[in-house]
Structures are given as structure tokens and as C-alpha cells.
Chain A
Amino acid sequence: MVKVIKLSLLLCLISANYILSQTSQKFGLRDNTPNVFALKNATLIVSYQNIIDDATIVIRDGIIENVGNNIQIPDDAFEIDVEGNCIYPGFIDLYSDIGMPVIEKENEKESDLLNKKNGFSHRNPHVRSRYNASRHFKKEEAKVEKMRSQGFTVAHTIPPYGIFRGQTAIISLGKEETKDLLIKQNFSQAMSFQISKELNGDYPTSLMGVVALIRQTFHDAEWYYNAHKTYNQNPVGFKKPEKNFDLESLIDVLKQKQPATFSVDDEIALIRALNIADEFNIKLLIKASGKEYRRLETIKAGNFPLIVPLNFPENPEVDSFDDVIGLCLESLMHWELAPENPAKIYEAGIDMAITSDGTIDNESFLKQLRVAVQRGLPEYAAIKALTINPARLLQIDNTHGTLEKGKKANFFIANGNIFKPKTIIEEVWVNGKKYPAEKSYKSTPQGKWLLSINDTIDFELKLTGEKDNYEGKLVQDDKEFELKKTKFDNQRMHFIVNGIFDEEEVIRFSAQVSENLMYGTGEKTPGTFFNWKAQKIESIVENNEQDKDDTDKKAKESQNISTVLYPPMEYGIAKKPEQEKCLLIQDATLWTQSPKGIIKNGDILIKKGIIEKVGKNIDKPRNCKVLNIEGKHLTPGLIDPHLHTSIIGGANEFGSTIVPETRIKDVINPNNIWIYRLLAGGLTTTNILHGSVNPIGGQSAVIKTRWGNLPEDMIFEEAKPGLKMALGENVKRNQSSYPITRMGTEQIIRDAFQAALDYRTKREEKKKNGLPYRKDIQLEVLLEVLDGKRLVHAHAYRQDEMLMLIRLAEEFGFKIQTFEHTVEGYKIANILADHGVAAIVWTDWGGFKMEAYDATIYNARLLMEQGVLTSLHSDNTNLATRMHWEAGKIAGTGVNEVEAKNLITINPAKILGVDHLVGSLEAGKHADFVIWSDHPLKGFAYAKQTWVDGRKYFDRQEDQKKRKEVLRLKNELSNKVLNSN
């Protein structure tokens, strides 16, 4: 093993010397200046775990030749004494867009064959996996200099546009010729969930469309690989599969030969990326958002390395009452906790690298890095995350990441510990070449100087201030002269003084400054120049007293006011509400919504989230908690089978007409205050649906309102999968795409289902012959519908369109599960009953559009009278917080109260296929229930408590306390912002 290393070391040395200049042509004289240096007397940070004092590092032709305490400095080395300085391994940035050009008209630059429509590239402009960062790299010296000045010597550069963004490259941040800068190309495939407007794509327009496109593209790449493999093994008798550079570029990702560098916007997006990685078994390098601390457990379980930014939020505006009113607790909490994100990730033991992304343009990287350390990230962990970790993740740790023998001479020299606030990076060395840090304030002229003019007249020069803002004076005995126009620029000091020699005259001073000396000239009278010099006698750089105060203040600041809540916002909870092992609720007016009807003075026994008994005078088991509710009404948790709440990135996919490939479950936002408000209204289960723009929309998701949980833990797993469809005005509104009539709507639905059937025929044929087939995630979903495995929830208003869809479904041999809205359902209630379709209706909504004009509040009553399974719905998150009153309205049309209540409990449960678990108070069902302040239908009732799975998620009394707590936190955090300026 040791031998191998030595051998490779030797090879490295040789290659450094000879190979690099192989193909370049020389013009003029050859430059044969030796490049051998010995930096001595340094504090050398060899690696995050190895620091050597008084060390020497020898560099030969860009490679570290030797490192250590008492090493022999080669005779040919040029020695540099760096006493008092620290040498750190160069930082490596795992996420940068250095050298990536802004969007260009690609088709002009690349071959015609890459034309979207008939070339070798993917049909969708957001799929740019072929794009190659190394081929499009452009030198950006100004930005490189900024990165270098903050200690970076290597960057992993990522193409910035698209969903599949292209091949990334590893770039050296030196000033060599471009071809020498490239360390590695095609390192990873860059991915994101973002829709780059610059790419002018039609599809997708929604986040769920983005996820669908990613999934379909991976399936396509899988097919592409198999199809070409099969063809290449035996091309005889087969048509050659298409050539597609984009799909080809994804094969390495699928085969785990290449990771995908996935950039995400928040912790929920990160978890979404994990799900995709899981589905396609790919390796990820995740460019994190800075919000990981909010869901650390889940993120850790994903087991992928994180590239962590230091983009801590700026101070929010808190100066005025108006400012504070407009702020939400969520943003204030994030302001306070975000700087701890790197520390929390480290403490969780997640493999991490730190990126400068978001902190380079304003040159705040080092400042934020120090904040991260101050807020708990150990210094060695910070170094690790900036050096050897990224090197290892980029698979260049044999050449980069530490200052060990044989590695590249990539390092920076700082005048002290890099994590101390006033430490400055003086030089950065990349591949053995020295670069000054862009802005060095080390030779700050601040301090006391002894200034003498022509070696005769002495003054004391006092300079204060920093950066571009200096003040000073010249003092001689009891005389003081103000300095004017004091300026320090490029190591030149300038100022003007009045009346040193005579009363009136203006004397201009300029000097070259080097550390402790100034050598200057001035003009006494026109044409009479004088020389002056100054020697620093005292540094007044730091006021220790002040520093101590600062430290104290900071320590005080770092005591957090907020903690991580789930969700991380107002009304969030620290932990899941307890599930009672045994709970006996006594003296309730039980609306069982079962054959038992309403039980007065009833009891209900709950064990571990499941209802065990419902009845009267239930014996109290031993060790069972008792809750006597003194006759209050207790109903099953309410169910709203139609909502569009908590959807991230659009409820409709506008980019295409038929979009069953989209899935709500991919885009649920658990950080939505309305989930809490739904609980406050007694709602425990809902179906989140795709919008109604598409005749065939996306897949719906039945959830329970488990506030604080992640989407996957909110999903009601036992519910039957659903698919949204839509008819009528909404789907024909866009006049520039098919369909624009109800006639066309029928045809496009027919066409899609026919396509699904044909797809199945072809698929089965290929399967039979052992040939690869392209999995079509859109048509697979329609096959599920045709096979009765997925329920159709069809948005419809008018009777004609409902009848049309019923007949079409009958023709294709499937059943429509529900019509949604069903405004004219009462007109064909008998037909709905015959087909067995359920009706989801409003109480009194109507008249807002033509197809709603025949709405009647008696709709539900007529439908029920004809035996149609009927449910109420809100279609509106706000309305969904008061469904009990909606049921009350139906009772007002002459329906009996229990049946009216069924419309928001057991009936929607049946519709969603969960009536064996929820919707009524019966033994064996989930303990989802609401305790009301009054008769739940009549109008004066509010929910006192809402329980889901035997856990109390809402309690009005606790809510009263929580709202005070929210305001207290908000106020204290705002004040903390105020004091942190």
C-alpha cells in the first residue's frame, strides 16, 4: 500500500514537471524561472486533525514536496519566512456556478442535430443532461478572485439552468490557461426542481409536473440503456432505437457511476429529492438550502452528503410597528436558528461540505463561516467540511484537501486563526502559484505613528477608523492639526493638513505604506517638495475592553429564544401529541354516525389510537385515563373530500392537457398554518386534489391533518388512490389548445384511455418477447383506472357532461367514483345512482359561473332521496374550517340531522375508501373525533378539541395560550433583531 502511494507520488511529480506544457506552443522567450519555495515558521494546518507549529512546507512545481517541523530545505528552494501566520489547505467549494455562461441560444451554438424537435436532444428543454460544464466554461477572473480571496482554490461548477442541468466540472481557481484549470469533467449530473424561465418550456408549469418529468425521464433513460443494449447485441431484424444525447447522459446516474448534484430550496424539497433517489436508486450530492435543521432526523436517514450554504438570513425589518405586524414567526425563527444549521448538521453526524454559494458576491463567506463556528460548529469540523470532505466527495482527495506530501500546493496564508474575527487572508496559493488576497487590510495604517518631515520636524500621527473611512490628526506639543481627505488606497496613504508651516497653506501628503513604515512626499510651497516618513509606535487596532463586551453580548445573543418546532412556524409543536394508551371519555352526546345513532350520556373507550368500545356505562379499565365531557357533543372527525390546500408549486399543471403523471403526494406542504386551522374546525381527513384545468388531471392524496408531521406521515395510506378529472368550462377555457368545447373534451378523454389500452397491448407483447419497453407513467395511471385500482374524481357541473363521462366510462369498463361539485347532479340523480357514482356537492355555492347557475341548496337532499352516496365538500381551505355548519344548512333543507352529519363524516369516508377506518364512532376504527362546545350543526358550536389517531392535535384552551406564546416569541425575536444591529 505504501509503495503504491509512493509510486503515484512519483508519477505526480513527473507529470507536474513535464506533461502540463506538452502541447502548448511557445512564442518569444521561454520562461524557465524555477518554482521551488520553502515557506517556513508557519503554523501549518496540514489537515483538520493535524496542526504543526513552526513548520516548513516545500513546494516544487505546484506540488507539495515536503512538510514538517525539522525538514531539510532543499538547496534550490526560495525561502519565505511566514512567521506568525497560519497556512490552511485551500478550501474546496462543492457548489458554484463559476464560469457558467448565462443562457445562450443553444441551437445556434451546438449542432443542428440537437434541435429540440428532430435532433438528438430531449424533447423537453428542461432536460439538458447533455450540457457539459467543461465545454461551456468561460473564465470569470473577477469572480474567481473573490472566491480565492475567501480561501477557495477549487470549485465544483454546476450548470445553472434546467431540471436536468447537465454535467458538472471541477475547476481549479488559479489563473492558468483554461485547459489547465479543469481538474475533472463529467463529475456529476446537476439536478433541481426549478423551472428556468429562460428555457421557454411549455411543460411543466407546476412542481408536481417537474417531479413527473424527472421520473419519466429516468424511466426513459432506463429504457434507452436497455434498448440500445439489446439492439447492439443483435441488431438483425430490429429498428435501431433513437439516438438521444440527453438520455445517454443519464445512464451513468442510473448505474450509480455518477452522482446527481441535486439543488433544493428547503427541507421539504430535500426530502422530495430523497424520495426520487430512493425510487430510482441513484446517488445524490445534495446542495442543501440552509433549512435542514428543521427536519434533521429524516434528512439524516437519507444518508447522502449535504453541501451546506452559509446563506443566513439578513436581519428582518423590525424598526416599526408596521414592520413587525407584517412579519411572521416562521421567518423570525429562521433568522435566529439558521446560523446553527451547519452545527446541527455536523452534530447529527451527516457527511457535509460547506459551500460559498450565496456568500461570494457580497464577500460575506468568511464572516458567515465565523458565525457558524460561533454558533456551535467546531473549527476542525468547519475545516473538514471545506477541505478533505469536499475533496473526498469529488474523488480528488488523493491530490487535494490536505497539505500532505505529493498533493497540490493549494493553500492560503492567514495572519492568524481563520475563525477569529480580525484574521485576514494574505495570500492564496493555487497549484504552487501565489495570488494576493483581493483586499488585504493587514497593513492598516490605524495606530500611532512618529512622523518626521525632512528628518527635522516631528509630529505624532494618530490614525483611527478602518477600511475606507479614516480620521486622524497630527500632534506637536499642544498643537493639533486635523487631517482632511484622509484616504488609504492600494497601500498609499493620503491626507491634507492646514497650517503646519504657515497659517493659511494647504499641505498635501502622500506616502507608501508598508506595515510599520510610511515613506512619503509632500509639497510645501509650489515646487518645493519635501520628504517625510513615519514609524508606527503603537497599534490601537483593538480595544480589548470593547472586545470583551462584544463577546459577552454575543454569548447573550446566542441564547436562543426559539426552538425548532414542527412545523417550524407559528403554532408549531415541539413533539407529536401523546397517544393515550387508554382513554375513556364519559358522559358525551355521541354522534356515532353508525346504526347506533346518537347516544346521550354515552361513553367511548379508546386504546392506542383505536376505538375499542362505544356505548353507555362502559367499565373503566385499570390505568385508564378518564375524560368526562359533561354531556358535550362528540362527533367523528370531519372529512372534506375535496380541497386544494397545502400544495407547493401550483395545483394545476397547465403545460399539457392530459397529466395523470402528476402526483399531489410529491408536493404537499406541511408548513402551512391552515392545516392547524383545519384542525381548529374539527377537520381530520381530507383529499387533496389536482386542479380542474385538465380533462385528466393528476393523482390526488388523502391526508389526515396531522399537524407537525411530514407529508409522508400525513398521507392516509389505506385510502384508495385517486385521479382527478375535469369537465366543462374550466378545461375548455384556454382557447389555444384542444379542447375548446365539451365535444372535444369527450374526445380527448377517449383518446387518452384508448392510448392506455394500446400501450398495454404493446407492453405485453414486448414483455412476452423479453424486449425492453418504455414505461409510460402517464398511461400506467390510466391503466390503473381501467383496472379499477384507482378512483376517478371528476369535476363536473352540468348534467350533460356527467352523463357523457358515465357512458364513456361504461364503454371502457370502469366506474366513475365521484363527481366533484356535481351542481346539476339532482337533475340526473337516478342515473348517478344506477352507475353507482357518488356525488360531492356544495350547500349553497352557485351563480358564480354559467355552469353553476342552476345550483340549488336542495341538491344534496334530492341526491340522497334517490340513493346516491352524497358528501359535502368545501373546495376552499377557509370553508373547510367550518364544515359542521355546512351540514347544518343541509339539515335546514329538511334532511334529518344525523343524515346531514353523514355528509361530512361517514359518506366522504366511503367515497375515499376509508369507511372501514374513519367516519364513524365504531369499535376498531381510528380515534378521530371532535368535542364540540354545543350542538354541532346549529351554529353556535366551535370545536373544543380535535383528536386524530387518539392524539389531541387541537385544544381550544391550549390554543388560547399558544396565541399569546406566538406573540411573545414574535415580540422577543423582533427585539433581538433590533439589538443585534
Chain B
Amino acid sequence: MISRRLYHLISLLILFFIISFYKIYSQPHSANNNYVAFTNGTVVTISGETIEEGTVVFKNGKITAVGNDIEIPEDANIIDISGKYLYPAMIHSGSHLGLIEVSMVRETVDVDEYGDINPNVRAEVAFNPGSRHIPLARDHGIAVAVVKPKGGLISGMAAAMLTDGWTWEDMVYKAPLAMVINWPSMNDVEKRNKAINELNETFQKARRYHIAKQASEKHFHPVDIRWEAMIPVLEKEIPIIINASEYRQIQAAIKWAEKQNLRIILSGVKDADMIINHLKDKDIPVIINSVFSGPSRKWESYDKTLSLPAKLNEANITFSISGETAASDLLRLPNHAAAAVAFGLPEKEALKSITLYPAEIFGIDNKLGSIEEGKDASFIIANGNLLHITTQIEQVYIKGIKTDMMNKHRLFYEKYREKYNGINK
């Protein structure tokens, strides 16, 4: 039995900690310039074999060495993680993180700009570093989230954002990353034709602008910020993410992109199982939105979307699993990969589909997606298999920075546990 006085003292102390947590909640740490070495952990490298009792050394946010018998620099801060698992941090392939805070409160929604043709809008500049959903994603192991505008025909430019940083500028990982197009529904022929005409017209205008621009030594052409933004797309420097789910949409989008000579990534792809050979032939990478979305036709099998990753994997199609788009739901990313394992996807592939594969699809695999020398020191340290839903992530590092692991879920937990500690006394 603790005395009342001692109890108060402890309460105060805990309260102090909580207040300080609250202060640092969602705020990033400064960079660590010394060597740090994790030792004795199960290092799941993703790109190579899993290393039992492995060591990972990093400095200035980059991995400097990985292996079993590697030399640890003398000044390194050694952290023993025996019994723990170390994974590369995950990449979320598409969401509205930072652009929507509370979807039903209009004032907090910055994802869908007026009009149908918005190639010039940039997701990163509206990315709210103060969003409560960002630390939640980070603490659940996501280092980089692809943030997409939505709505209209051309929604805008997506950006890959770090989940740690003081300003959006700090947090830009790669931008512009890709342009987002929503393929029109194939059911209403009139609407669909209208939309596709508009899309074709838009691309023709952009090409006219591009040609005139390149030849503009003689002729003056004022800047059109819409077409200016599309130049990297026309030059295939950046791809287009086309949202298309139904097989007819996917077929139409592939054909269109081929004719337009553009680089595309397909996203959604619920019916991809029906056109696997197409995807294989064209070598088009796909992003599976949610394995939980379920069949949309009565006759389809109950596990249609759950078994989709396994089918794409068997066909050697490049794919990533993105989970859900809602800003509050990024934490479920590994659950999607786990469910895919239950329905036939090899565990190793499931891990790749949320780390290395999205990194490859978005061209950031030189920095992220696996535990390799030279890549970001963005890690997950967990008490078990990352894909096990019951596993707890104990610590996340983003570019070498140990994050505070404080998010709104945790914060409310701490705060109210304290309330009940007081009451139950």
C-alpha cells in the first residue's frame, strides 16, 4: 500500500510526463549525427535473406552496414534488440493523409479542387504537418505516404511525404510524384465519352503548349500553369496514377495510355484478376487499393479481393498493396498484407508489397523499401512478425531519427489511464 502522499507525488510525476508527451506529441526530433548500431535482432532485410542475430549500423539517417559479422564503429551507440524484429519502414501507396482531417467537416478537407482538370495542383503544399493522423501512421511503421488529390478527371499531382518533419517542405520525399487521373465509369456511355473527349483534348492542349514552348525562341507564348505542370508527364519523367477498378475501365485506360504514349500506374484494380494477361503483357505496375473492399457482383467469390494479391503475384505482375485511402486508416496497411497471406500470397511477397514494391513503383527504391547499405535508416522494431495483427510495434525510426511514438490513440490512452489511476485509488 502506497501512502497517499507518495501517490500524489507519483501522480504528479506521471502527469508531468504526460504533459511533456503532449508537448512533443507529433513533433519530430532532431537528427542524430553519430553512428547507431542495432545488434542481435532478427533483421528482415526484405531485399535479401532475413538475418538472425543481425546488426544494422546507421549514421546521418543512412544505413552504413548490415549483416552478421560486421564491424561496429567504436563511437557507435549500440542498442541491443535481441528478441526483436527489425523491418524497413513501410510505404503507403495512396491516401489523403494530411489533406483531410475530418472528412465530414468541410473546413478540414483539402483534397478535391474545383473543376475537372487540375493537373497543376500540388498535394504537398496543402499537407498539414499538424494533422493528428500523421503520427498515427508513423507509429504504425509508415515512413512515407503517397498523398493524392482526388476528384474530377485530373485531380492533381501526388507527392510522397515523409511522416516526420516540422513543415511540409521538410516532409516532401518526392514531388511531383505522379499525376492522378480518375478513369470515368463505363456504365454511362454519354458521360464516359464526354469525359474521355475532355481528357484527350486536355492532353492535346498540353502537347501543343509543350511544342510551342520548346520552339519559343521566335514566338512568345505566355505561361499556362496547367500545361506547364503536365510537361514532366508528357516527357514520361513522372507517371500517371490512373484510378480504375472495373475491368472495362482498366482495359480502356491501358489502351488510352498506350495511344497517348504515357507511363501509367493503375490503382484500384479490383477486377485485375479478369485481365491478368493484359497487365502482364504491358508490364504495367498496379496498386491494389484495399484487399478488404469485397466482391461487388453477387456471383463473385467471397474472397475475390482478398486473393487478388496472390493471383497477381503468381502472374508476376508488379504490384503494391496500399490499404485504405482515408487519412485516419493508414495504420491498417500491414493488416491488408496479412489478409493477403491468409488467402495465398507468400509472406515474403506480402512484406515486399508494402515496402520494396511500392518503392520500386514510385522510383524511390534507391532510398527506401529494404534494409540495405546506403538506404534510409527508416526502421520498424517490433516484438514479433510485422504481419501478425497482434504484434506490437515498439519503435519507429524515420531517417535515423527515433520518433516519440506518441500519437492520439496513445495519448488518450495515457491520459485516461491516469484518470482511472486517480479514481481507482
Give Cα distance in the complex from A850 to B109, angstroms: 12
Task: Say whether B391 faces chain A, with CB atoms less than 8 Å apart.
Answer: yes
Within 8 Å by CB of B339, from A829, A844, A939, lies A939
Task: Say whether A338 faces chain B, with CB atoms less than 8 Å apart.
Answer: no
Total interface residues on B, using CB and 8 Å?
51
- Report the stretch among A648-656, A813-821, A962-970 that lies at the interface: A962-970
- Report the stretch among B28-36, B80-88, B224-232, B327-335 that lies at the interface: B327-335
Give Cα distance in the complex from A937 to B293, angstroms: 20
Task: Say whether A397 faces chain B, with CB atoms less than 8 Å apart.
Answer: no
Task: Say whether B102 faces chain A, with CB atoms less than 8 Å apart.
Answer: yes
**Given that A849-B104, A850-B105, A892-B390 are known contacts, is A885 also in contact with B299, CB under 8 Å in the complex?**
no
B389 touches A892 (CB 8 A): yes
- Report the stretch among A220-228, A424-432, A453-461, A858-866 that lies at the interface: A858-866
A636 CB, min distance to chain B CBs, angstroms:
19
Nearest-neighbor residue (CB-CB) of A934 within chain B: B342
Per-residue 0/1 for A715-752: is the Cβ within 8 Å of any B Cβ (1 yes, 0 no)?
00000000000000100000000000000000000000
Within 8 Å by CB of B102, from A848, A856, A937, lies A848
List CB contacts (< 8 Å) of A856-907 with chain B.
856-858, 861-862, 865-866, 878-879, 881-882, 885, 888-889, 891-894, 897, 900
B409 touches A894 (CB 8 A): no
B392 touches A862 (CB 8 A): no
B238 CB, min distance to chain A CBs, angstroms:
30
Give Cα distance in the complex from A724 to B424, angstroms: 32
Task: Say whether A411 faces chain B, with CB atoms less than 8 Å apart.
Answer: no
List CB contacts (< 8 Å) of B229-251 with chain A.
247-248
Task: Say whether A758 faces chain B, with CB atoms less than 8 Å apart.
Answer: no
Residues of B close to A796: CB separation below 8 A: none
List CB contacts (< 8 Å) of B82-108 with chain A.
101-105
Give Cα distance in the complex from A897 to B254, angstroms: 46
Within 8 Å by CB of A844, from B298, B331, B392, lies B331
Residues of A close to B205: CB separation below 8 A: none
A938 touches B390 (CB 8 A): yes
B412 touches A856 (CB 8 A): yes
A966 touches B327 (CB 8 A): no
Nearest-neighbor residue (CB-CB) of B305 within chain A: A878
Nearest-neighbor residue (CB-CB) of A939 within chain B: B338
Nearest-neighbor residue (CB-CB) of B293 within chain A: A878
B413 touches A882 (CB 8 A): no
Task: Say whether B423 faces chain A, with CB atoms less than 8 Å apart.
Answer: yes
B298 touches A885 (CB 8 A): no
B105 touches A829 (CB 8 A): no
Nearest-neighbor residue (CB-CB) of A847 within chain B: B328
A939 touches B342 (CB 8 A): yes
Within 8 Å by CB of B389, from A329, A854, A939, lies A939
Residues of B close to A293: CB separation below 8 A: none
Give Cα distance in the complex from A885 to B335, angstroms: 8
B389 touches A889 (CB 8 A): yes
Give Cα distance in the complex from A894 to B390, angstroms: 9
B294 touches A862 (CB 8 A): no
Size class of A's contact patch? Answer: 35 or more
Per-residue 0/1 for B307-347: is the Cβ within 8 Å of any A Cβ (1 yes, 0 no)?
00000000000000000001111011001001101110001
Task: Say whether A40 faces chain B, with CB atoms less than 8 Å apart.
Answer: no
Task: Say whether B21 faces chain A, with CB atoms less than 8 Å apart.
Answer: no
Within 8 Å by CB of A878, from B292, B347, B412, lies B292
**Given that A856-B412, A938-B390, A942-B342 are known contacts, is A865 also in contact with B420, CB under 8 Å in the complex?**
yes
Nearest-neighbor residue (CB-CB) of A677 within chain B: B302
Residue picked from B248, B387, B419, most chain A C-beta under 10 Å: B419
Residues of B close to A854: CB separation below 8 A: 408, 412
A862 touches B420 (CB 8 A): yes
Within 8 Å by CB of B326, from A847, A888, A891, A967, lies A847
Task: Say whether B208 faces chain A, with CB atoms less than 8 Å apart.
Answer: no
Per-residue 0/1 for B277-313: is the Cβ within 8 Å of any A Cβ (1 yes, 0 no)?
0000000000000001111011101110000000000
B332 touches A844 (CB 8 A): yes
Residues of A close to B342: CB separation below 8 A: 933-934, 939-942
**Given that A858-B412, A862-B413, A939-B387 are known contacts, is A570 also in contact with B339, CB under 8 Å in the complex?**
no
Task: Say whether B410 faces chain A, with CB atoms less than 8 Å apart.
Answer: yes
B341 touches A940 (CB 8 A): yes
A888 touches B389 (CB 8 A): yes
**Given that A826-B416, A853-B102 are known contacts, is A970 also in contact with B299, CB under 8 Å in the complex?**
yes
Task: Say whether A322 faces chain B, with CB atoms less than 8 Å apart.
Answer: yes
A856 touches B293 (CB 8 A): no
Residues of B close to A513: CB separation below 8 A: none
Within 8 Å by CB of A848, from B326, B388, B390, B410, lies B326
Residues of A close to B132: CB separation below 8 A: 847, 853
Task: Say whether A550 faces chain B, with CB atoms less than 8 Å apart.
Answer: no
A849 touches B103 (CB 8 A): yes
Task: Say whether B138 faces chain A, with CB atoms less than 8 Å apart.
Answer: no
Give Cα distance in the complex from A849 to B419, angstroms: 26
A296 CB, min distance to chain B CBs, angstroms:
23
B417 touches A885 (CB 8 A): no
A330 touches B298 (CB 8 A): yes
List CB contacts (< 8 Å) of A223-247 with chain B.
none
A28 CB, min distance to chain B CBs, angstroms:
61
Task: Say whether B133 faces chain A, with CB atoms less than 8 Å apart.
Answer: yes
Per-residue 0/1 for B134-169: is the Cβ within 8 Å of any A Cβ (1 yes, 0 no)?
000000000000000000000000000000000000
Nearest-neighbor residue (CB-CB) of A970 within chain B: B299
Give Cα distance in the complex from A742 to B412, angstroms: 24
Give Cα distance in the complex from A879 to B291, angstroms: 12
Give Cα distance in the complex from A897 to B392, angstroms: 13
List CB contacts (< 8 Å) of B381-423 with chain A.
385, 387-392, 408-410, 412-413, 416-417, 419-420, 423
B338 CB, min distance to chain A CBs, angstroms:
3
B299 touches A570 (CB 8 A): yes
A260 CB, min distance to chain B CBs, angstroms:
34
Residues of A close to B101: CB separation below 8 A: 847
Give Cα distance in the complex from A576 to B330, angstroms: 42
Per-residue 0/1 for A819-835: is the Cβ within 8 Å of any B Cβ (1 yes, 0 no)?
00000001101100000
Give Cα distance in the complex from A782 to B129, angstroms: 49
Residues of A close to B389: CB separation below 8 A: 885, 888-889, 891-892, 937-939
A633 CB, min distance to chain B CBs, angstroms:
13
Task: Say whether A676 faces chain B, with CB atoms less than 8 Å apart.
Answer: yes
**Given that A329-B298, A862-B416 are known contacts, is A940 also in contact with B387, CB under 8 Å in the complex?**
yes
Within 8 Å by CB of B388, from A852, A862, A938, A942, lies A938
Residues of A close to B341: CB separation below 8 A: 939-940
Within 8 Å by CB of A967, from B299, B388, B409, lies B299
Residues of A close to B416: CB separation below 8 A: 826-827, 829, 862
**Given that A849-B105, A940-B341 are known contacts, is A959 also in contact with B248, CB under 8 Å in the complex?**
no
Residue picked from B302, B339, B347, B388, most chain A C-beta under 10 Å: B302
Task: Say whether A846 faces chain B, with CB atoms less than 8 Å apart.
Answer: yes
List CB contacts (< 8 Å) of B4-29 with chain A.
none
**Given that A826-B412, A966-B299 are known contacts, is A847 also in contact with B387, CB under 8 Å in the complex?**
no
Task: Say whether A688 faces chain B, with CB atoms less than 8 Å apart.
Answer: no
Give Cα distance in the complex from A626 to B347, angstroms: 33
Give Cα distance in the complex from A858 to B409, angstroms: 7
B381 CB, min distance to chain A CBs, angstroms:
15
A862 touches B298 (CB 8 A): no
Give Cα distance in the complex from A570 to B297, angstroms: 10
A500 CB, min distance to chain B CBs, angstroms:
52
A536 CB, min distance to chain B CBs, angstroms:
51
Residues of B close to A967: CB separation below 8 A: 299
Residues of A close to B328: CB separation below 8 A: 844-848, 855
Residues of B close to A900: CB separation below 8 A: 390
Residues of B close to A855: CB separation below 8 A: 328, 409
Instruction: Jot down 5 A-B pairs with beta carbons below 8 A, ordered by A.
Output: A329-B299, A569-B298, A856-B410, A888-B389, A959-B301
- Known contacts A325-B297, A848-B103, A891-B389, then 8 further A-B pairs from the complex at CB < 8 Å, ordered by chain A residue: A325-B274, A673-B298, A677-B302, A830-B424, A862-B417, A866-B420, A900-B390, A939-B390
Q: Which 3 A-B pairs have the closest CB atoms?
A: A847-B328, A939-B338, A888-B389
